[in-house]
Structure 1
Amino acid sequence: MSKPLFQYTKQEESCPQCGSPLQIKQGKKGPFFGCSAYPHCDFIKPLHNQNESGIIRLLEQHCPECDHPLALKQGQFGIFIGCSAYPDCRFIVHEREDNATEGEAVICPACAKSEMVARRGRQGKYFYACRRFPHCKFTLPSQPYAQDCPYCGYRVAMLKKQKETRRIWQCANKSCRRLFETE
């Protein structure tokens, strides 16, 4: 029994760009191979082959943009419904639609070129931002409404309280933020 049961074999891959050995490194999405000559060489390779999303099941509904069937998919952030023709069609069914009570889109007060849409932040909470992001970075913590502020004349407000006969609003202007009522 002079031979060990397991023999260590070193497998070393070399960088296809510069020839330096590759190292296993840790990133925010998990381990990956990276060039040991970094920052002079920026080659990276995934440790595991990961698909962007895997199809769990095809659904009977069709995509409103390209008429391909919709699919139930598993992605990086969980299960979602999207078009089966990805990457040609990038349609995704969102959990929460914009549901303004007046049925009208609120125009962004900062750029006045696009409407405000619901977005989900890093912590999973919804906020409202201009559709032209990153060109316009205006955001609000709650749903905007086309309601004029009587104090500063700003055209957008957020609903704070709603009672049977009146509503309490907060001005969306960051320099005003005053509360006012309407019936």
Structure 2
Amino acid sequence: MNIGFTAKMEEQLDDIADGELEWEPMLKEFYRPFDESIEKTMKEAERVPRESLEEETGESCELCGNPMVIKSGRYGRFMACKGYPECKNTKPVESPEEKAIRELVSEDVDEFCDKCERPMAVKTGRNGRFLACTGYPECKNAKPLPVGVACPDCGNDLVERKQKGKNGRTFYSCSNYPECKFAANPLPQPCPDCGKLLVTRGRGRRNARCLDEACGFTGATPQAEVEEAVA
């Protein structure tokens, strides 16, 4: 990265937008040395085996048992089965916070498909975790993953969802949406009083509250208090 180059480029683009600079000479000034650098690199740079760019994860593919590795694509890093192309299983790379949130929600489900009555299982896709029929591909029934807590507004199940986009965050919402519009952001640590799911509907961890109505915890989490003390 070259901050000076970026700043100069932005100034030139502003000048073009204001009609003070012609875009063709500016583009040629940039492109010619850039093209020469690309050509030189393609001829002289050391070739790096694609396999050396893969990171081991310590996880196994749930479809075929081969190791899962971290790769980089046009939309960023992702996990993929090392058995590709025979196995095309992929999943997002979790941040430490997302992993902590996932571990708070059990993947043990006792639910059966409402279309074919086969057991449902937890799967992970591009948009996070979800419940899918074990009869796939004959049965393609799927639904959001329940978090095991009732919606505090209407009593229906809360489910795990993920915001759209490659950097979308996990959140909890009511399975009865759009009739019930309850939504909350999960925190990566459990409730300090009962150990169940902790969420916030505002900014920061000082607005945390337990999703279990019987617990009733509200306020700052221990982690927030430590962060404030350090600050």
- Using structure 1 for the length normalisation, give the TM-score: 0.36
- Using structure 2 for the length normalisation, give the TM-score: 0.31
Structure with the bigger percentage of helix: 2
**Higher alpha-carbon Rg:** 1
